[in-house]
Amino acid sequence: MLITLRDKKTIRWQLLLTVQKQTIITMMKNSRRDFLQKLAASAMTMPVLSSYGAFSKLDLYPPSYQGPTLRVALMGLGGYASRVAAAMQDCKRAKITGLISGTPSKIKDWRAKYDIPEKNCYNYENFDNVKDNPDIDAVYVITPNALHHEHVIRVAQAGKHAICEKPMAINAKEGQDMVDACAKANVKLLVGYRMHFEPKTLEVVRMRTEGELGNIKFFQGLCGFRIGDPNQWRLDKALAGGGALMDIGIYAINGARYMVGEEPVWVTAQETKTDNVKFKEGVDETILFQLGFPSGALASCLSTYNMNYLDRFFLNGENGFAELQPSTGYGPIKGRTNKGELSQPHITHQTLQMDEMAGIILDDNKPIVPVDGLEGLKDLKIIDAIYQACATGNRQELQL
Ligand code: NAD
């Protein structure tokens, strides 16, 4: 049987609807009042409410969606931007309307591929001129980590919303500047935390939030891969801001927070390095870190550029557990809990992310797990503290 593009879109919509239905059915079963009463009954679960709020609906759009779309310029046409651009072809609410690159040949190729008019294309010297371009609502910054600070601040000053890749910046001081610049310009700042919209991840968050796992005791996050080319920007402190922790370990930091549902209050960390040539001063190869949460829950995490097959989250509660493996790769994510296999559908992460981010920017929707600049800033504060803990050997107190 021949499956047309239209059929595929309808199937995808039905899958999305299934996720939404599951969320709604669960919400109906546990009415909001019951849910809030349960939360209020337990002081330990209060951080769930303050950190993540009550569940909002998943914002999903039918194939026939005709409403407003978020018009996005992509900045930094490298590997990840290529993935985002391809995924955005299936978006209902977000579309690519502009390009920012320092390489004219890339602009030429991307213009042809994505049908972008020349007047919506910029380079790193003149992209401030997006302020006069009514075809662009937001700029998605997908450049090396150390450039996010300058790029996001210039986007904000041009009066456009900023979506910024992770890590939002290379330290909390820079992150705070970006949050302040966006607040001053009255534009939104969102971080490209695609896992915050991923259906299996959200099912575990739902189970934990609704008490199905009981009081959370422990989280384990293992994040890493063996990095190749020693000359890439990821191994250059000036552009990367650090090493594996900035790039991949951040998933364990962020995951610990949304899986446990609390903000950590302390961190300890230990660093090891087996290759001082590839991993120069300030570029971490492997870091183990531990987080302590107000309830007494603990997290134990590994961040590395020196091991493959390392993409696992494990959450342990008094009444159950959840395991995701792979947990943060491009998917499909796989997972199981004490109740069985997770069966939520795989949806291309960046398609879902950009449709959801359009809803956040255009309709002020509140995501189940936040993706705003303050969320990015909290992760940067933890990163700063982990590096400090490695350098001093001392436990660092956290105030997020
Ligand atoms: P990349 O090297 O493939 O692309 C980076 C782009 O930035 C290139 O097009 C490059 O030309 C451009 N650039 C602009 N100024 C530059 C400069 N001074 N030096 C070097 N490059 C410059 O990298 P990538 O993998 O696309 O990563 C870009 C960002 O996206 C990083 O912040 C990374 O952490 C993030 N990322 C996120 C995910 C995710 O799953 N959310 C995945 C991969 C990368």
Indicate if the alpha-carbon torsion angle 248, 249, 250, 255 is positive or negative: positive
Inform me whether the pLDDT recorded for 49 exceeds 80. no
pLDDT for position 58: 47
pLDDT tens across 261-296, in order?
Answer: 999 999 999 999 999 999 999 999 999 999 999 999
Using CB distances shorter than 6 Å, the residues near ligand 1 are 76-81, 102, 142-145, 147, 165-166, 192, 194, 233, 239, 247
Q: How far is the CA of 228 from the centre of ligand 1 (A)?
A: 15
Q: What's the average model confidence in pLDDT over 366-371?
A: 98
Domain-wise residue ranges, the chain? 70-194, 214-346+370-397
Q: How far is the CA of 156 from the centre of ligand 1 (A)?
A: 20
pLDDT tens across 222-267, in order?
Answer: 999 999 999 999 999 999 999 999 999 999 999 999 999 999 999 9
SS3 category, 249: helix
Q: What's the average model confidence in pLDDT over 78-89?
A: 98
Q: Provide the angle, in degrees to the nearest 10, between the axes of the packed helices 349-363 and 79-88.
A: 70
pLDDT bracket for residue 391 (50, 70, 90): very high
Q: What's the average model confidence in pLDDT over 329-341?
A: 97
Q: How far is the CA of 239 from the centre of ligand 1 (A)?
A: 10
CB 93 within 8 A of CB 101: no
Average pLDDT for the chain: 89
Q: Of 109, 117, 157, 310, whose CA–CA distance to 225 is shortest?
A: 310
pLDDT bracket for residue 111 (50, 70, 90): very high
The residues, any chain, with a CB within 8 Å of residue 267's CB and separated by 6 or more, are: 289, 290, 291, 292, 382, 385, 386, 389, 395, 396, 398
The per-residue DSSP string of 231-244 comes to: TSGGG-HHHHSSSH
CATH classification of 214-346+370-397 is 3.30.360.10, yes or no? yes
Q: How far is the CA of 221 from the centre of ligand 1 (A)?
A: 24
In terms of DSSP H, where are the helices of 294-372? Answer: 349-363
pLDDT for position 60: 63
Q: How far is the CA of 64 from the centre of ligand 1 (A)?
A: 34
Inform me whether the pLDDT recorded for 3 exceeds 90. no
pLDDT bracket for residue 161 (50, 70, 90): very high
Marked catalytic residue, from 52, 61, 140, 251: 251
Q: How far is the CA of 141 from the centre of ligand 1 (A)?
A: 9
Q: Is 334 tagged catalytic?
A: no
CB 215 within 8 A of CB 47: no
3-class SS letters over 168-181 = CCCCHHHHHHHHHH
Q: Provide the angle, in degrees to the nearest 10, between the axes of the packed helices 172-185 and 148-157.
A: 10
- Residues facing 336 on adjacent strands: 323, 341
Parallel, antiparallel, or unpaired for β 161-164 and 286-292? Answer: unpaired
Residue 395, token pair as written in the block: 């436990």
Which atom of ligand 1 lies at the shortest distance from residue 330's CA?
40
The per-residue DSSP string of 252-311 comes to: HHHHHHHHHTS---EEEEEEE-S-TTTS-TT--SEEEEEEE-TTS-EEEEEEESS-SSEE
Secondary structure element (H or E) that encloses residue 315, with its range:
strand 310-317
Place of tokens 């997972």: 335
Which atom of ligand 1 lies at the shortest distance from residue 81's CA?
26
What CA–CA distance (Å, rounded) separates 3 from 167?
39
Q: What's the average model confidence in pLDDT over 61-78?
A: 90
CATH topology of domain 70-194: Rossmann fold (3.40.50)
For the chain, percent helix, then strand, then coil, each to nearest 5?
A: 45, 20, 35
Which atom of ligand 1 lies at the shortest distance from residue 239's CA?
19
Q: For residue 252, give Cα distances in angstroms to 152, 157, 265, 273, 285.
A: 24, 32, 16, 19, 15
Residue with CA at minimum distance from ligand 1 atom 44? 80
Which atom of ligand 1 lies at the shortest distance from residue 232's CA?
2
Inform me whether the pLDDT recorded for 24 exceeds 50. no
Marked catalytic residue, from 92, 166, 378, 381: 166
CB 31 within 8 A of CB 37: no
Higher pLDDT, 264 or 13: 264
Residue with CA at minimum distance from ligand 1 atom 42? 80
The residues, any chain, with a CB within 8 Å of residue 245's CB and separated by 6 or more, are: 284, 287, 303, 383, 386, 387
What CA–CA distance (Å, rounded) separates 248 from 236?
15
Residue 315, token pair as written in the block: 């959450």
**Least confident span in 2-6, 273-277, 359-363:** 2-6
End-to-end CA distance of the chain: 54
Most informative mutation of 106, 143, 328 for ligand 1 (most atoms within 8 A of CB): 143
Which atom of ligand 1 lies at the shortest distance from residue 145's CA?
32
Q: Is 166 tagged catalytic?
A: yes
What CA–CA distance (Å, rounded) separates 287 from 36?
38
pLDDT tens across 212-221, in order?
Answer: 999 999 999 9
pLDDT tens across 137-155, in order?
Answer: 999 999 999 999 999 999 9
Strands (E), 104-165: 121-122, 138-141, 161-164
Residue 170, token pair as written in the block: 């290379």
